[in-house]
Structures are given as C-alpha cells and as structure tokens.
Amino acid sequence: MSDQPNTPTSNPSRPPPWNNPAVRSIVYQVIAVVLLGYFAWTILNNTLDNMARRGIRTGFSFLNNESGFGILLSLIEYDESSTYGRTFLVGLLNTLLVSVLGIFFATIFGFLLGIARLSTNWLIAQLASIYVEMIRNIPLLLQIFFWYTAVLQALPGPRDSIQLGDSYFLNNRGFYFPKPIFEDGFGAVLFALLAAIAAAIFIGRWARRRQDRTGARFPVFLTSLGLIVGLPLVVFLLVGAPLSFETAVLERFSFTGGSRVIPELMALLWALTMYTAAFIAEIVRAGIESVSHGQIEAARSLGLRNGPTLRLIVIPQALRVIIPPLTSQYLNLTKNSSLATAIGYPDLVAVFMGTSLNQTGQAVEIVAMTMAVYLTISLSISFLMNWYNRKVALVER
C-alpha cells in the first residue's frame, strides 16, 4: 500500500476486503445461510434414509388415495369415496371457518368490552373488569370443555328440543333453523344489493368532498343504511318474493332438513370468541388511554360532542397503538382453533393430522403439511394487518 502514489483525490487507505466491515458482514451471512441450508438438508436426508431403511412408506402419492371415512361437517362436497387431498381441504376450510368467525365476533365483542371498561358508569366498568379478569385467567381448553360438556351437552335430546317459534330448535345435536331456498329471480335482489353498496360508497366520497368544500355535513350513515336495506327489499317484493324456507323435521333419530350449527362449532366458536375478546378488550383500553387527555379537551373546546370526539379524534389515534397487538391476538385465535380436536370438531388437526395420519401412517408428510398451513395462515394475517397498520400509522411529515 505504501508504495502506491497518494494523490489527494484517491482513497487514502482502502482496507483489504477481509477488514472491510461491509464485506465481512456479507461473508458471515452467506456462511450462516449455507450452514443452515446444510443442516436442513441433512435432517431431511437423514429422515428419509431412516424411514426407507425401516420400511416406512414416504411421498405424497397418498393424497390421491380414497380416504374412506366420513366427516361431520364439510363446507364442500365430501363423502367416503373422496381422496385424502379432499380431506385436507375439508379440514382446512373448517379451520378457516371457525377462525374467521372467531376473529369477527371477538373483535366486535372485544371493542365493546374495552370501551365498557373505560365507562364512567361504575357498574358497567366493574362488570367489564370482572369479565376480563375471569375469562383471561382460565385456560382456554377448560373453557372449551365447559361450553361443550357442561352447557351444550346438557341440553335436552332431539325429542325434547327447546323450541323457539315454529321453526327454531335447540338440542344437544345443535341449533336448527330454517334453510333459505333461493328461487328464480333472486339474482336481481343480489344485484340490487351490490348496486346499493356501490351507491353508498359513492355517496360517502361525494359527501366528504362537499364537506371539505362547503363545510356542510350530510347524513351519510342513514342514507347508506336506507339504500342498502331498502333497495334490495323493494326489488325483492317487485320480483315476487322468490325465497322460501325449509324447516327442520324430527325423524326417527334426529332432525333432518333445515340448516344446522353443530354443537362442536358452537362450543369452540363461543369459547374462542369469549377468551380472545377479553384480551382484545385490554388492548383496546390501552389504546384509548394512550391518547392524551389534551386531545379530548381540544375536541371539546371545538364543540364536538361525545360521539364525534370518540369517532374522529380518539379512535383514529388509538388504532395506531391497537393494531400491532391485535394482530397477535388474531394469530393466537387461529392457532388456538386447533384445540377443536379435543371436542370432536373436524378441523384440520382433527381430520388430517388425526384420522388421515392414522389411516395412512405418513406422519412426516402430514405433520409437515399441517405446519405449513398454519404458517401460511399466520403469515397472511400478519401481512394483512401490517398493511392496515401502515395505513393508520401516524404519517410523519
């Protein structure tokens, strides 16, 4: 280095690559990745090798074989002659069903509870606190067993069902309600509904622009509600009410016909919702309390009433704090749904990692597939929530 001519414009002393922190960091990372890859490859190879030596069948061809067993609840067509691949789909959809419904109800219930805990009404605030402290300190599995065994299984049998009106029945086989049968012309009603939703979105945008320009407000919520309920209703009556209901009928063993929610789903959904809602309530409370009191005082001094203060000032700022931990709760709920197997709800773990694994004996493949599914679902939820988080995050200028 010393024998190189030093001109003022060139780098005075360029360190050798092994002393360059940037290069070194890349080299270390490459080495780490290679080692990790080698580790994974060795485990895979070792497993396959050992399984082959012990005469255990491997590969994914079993997915095309006939499963030969029935499943209690299936959102898609499924019977005993379907393949294991289909079994996988049925289990996956059942898992998604309970997760999506659970997330939906837990969010609504959790927000209400969180706001209730902050209520100035002493009784409401205390009740909400007691609920949160009780529910989140009891293990979820116990709660699932409680709802399934102590509540739903204690209901009367089909013959002595609890009857609500003429066509709603509740017994230990589930909750039966009339099944809507859509006749010709119902498509027009759906079309009207879509049109009404589109119109509502348009009105919302127009109202905002008008408010920006003139300051005059427009009752967007009531107009939209009227449109979305009213327009399809008018069309429905115009095309001659193309809808009828099929009621469940008691037969030799049980009810047939109609629609039914099985008790396994009810118990699982109920327990997941109540449990997760308790955590969401705390997150919401923390979020709202994180908004400084000065903001509310400022809103008051502008003359905003309670409702608009909460809606326009507090919640948008609280959401920044709420969204990240809320995402973890959604992930927890989805993963907790695998406790379904304890009460016989046919989710992915029960039908695929349970029955299918046992019938085919291909533990490694099936466990890997199941883990991949949960990973994918969790990553998707994370991705969606992160995207939403970026939208509500404080934009720094």
Partner 1 sequence: MISARARASSDTLALIKSKGFLSCGVNTGLPGFSAPDTNNNWTGMDVDFCRALAAAVLGDTTRVKYKPLTAKERFTALQSGEIDILSRNTTWTQIRDTSLGLNFAGVNYYDGQGFMVKKSLRVKSAKELDGAVFCMQAGTTTELNLADYARLNKFTYKSITFETNEQVREGFETGRCDVLTTDQSGLYSHITKLSDPDSAMVLPEMMSKEPLGPVVRQGDDAWFNVVRWTLHALINAEELGVTSENIEQMKSSSNPAISRLLGTTGDMGAKLGLDNSWAFHAIKQVGNYGEIFERNVGRLSPLKIRRGLNALWNRGGIMFAPPIR
Please count the other Cβ atoms lying within 10 Å of the Cβ belonging to residue 203.
15
Q: How far apart are CA 87 and CA 100, in angstroms?
A: 20
Q: How far apart are CA 281 and CA 118, in angstroms?
A: 10
Q: Among 73, 105, 92, which residue's Cα sits nearest to residue 263?
A: 73
Contact assessment for residue 182 and residue 243, using Cβ atoms and an 8 Å cutoff = yes
Shortest Å distance, C-beta 286 to partner 1:
38
Contact assessment for residue 144 and residue 312, using Cβ atoms and an 8 Å cutoff = no
Binding site for partner 1 (CB under 8 A): 50-51, 53-57, 68-72, 80-81, 149, 153-154, 157, 172-173, 251-254, 256, 263-264, 341-344, 346, 350, 354-355, 357-361, 363
Residue with tokens 């360190």: 15
Q: How far apart are CA 316 and CA 322, in angstroms?
A: 10
6 vs 358, beta carbon nearer partner 1: 358
Q: How far apart are CA 116 and CA 137, in angstroms?
A: 19
Shortest Å distance, C-beta 156 to partner 1:
8
Q: How far apart are CA 350 and CA 81, in angstroms?
A: 19
For residue 162, give the 3-state DSSP assignment: strand
DSSP secondary structure letter of residue 309: I
Shortest Å distance, C-beta 113 to partner 1:
31
Residue 122: burial class (beta carbons within 10 Å; 0-12, 13-18, 19+)? exposed
Shortest Å distance, C-beta 142 to partner 1:
15
111 vs 148, beta carbon nearer partner 1: 148
25 vs 47, beta carbon nearer partner 1: 47
110 vs 346, beta carbon nearer partner 1: 346
Helix residue ranges per DSSP H, 155-185 = none
72 vs 393, beta carbon nearer partner 1: 72
Shortest Å distance, C-beta 353 to partner 1:
8
262 vs 286, beta carbon nearer partner 1: 262
Shortest Å distance, C-beta 147 to partner 1:
14
Shortest Å distance, C-beta 93 to partner 1:
18
Shortest Å distance, C-beta 98 to partner 1:
16
Q: Among 73, 59, 148, which residue's Cα sits nearest to residue 350?
A: 73
What is each CA distance from 53 to 58, 239, 313, 336, in whole angstroms?
11, 69, 67, 37
160 vs 183, beta carbon nearer partner 1: 160
Please count the other Cβ atoms lying within 10 Å of the Cβ belonging to residue 131.
17
247 vs 254, beta carbon nearer partner 1: 254
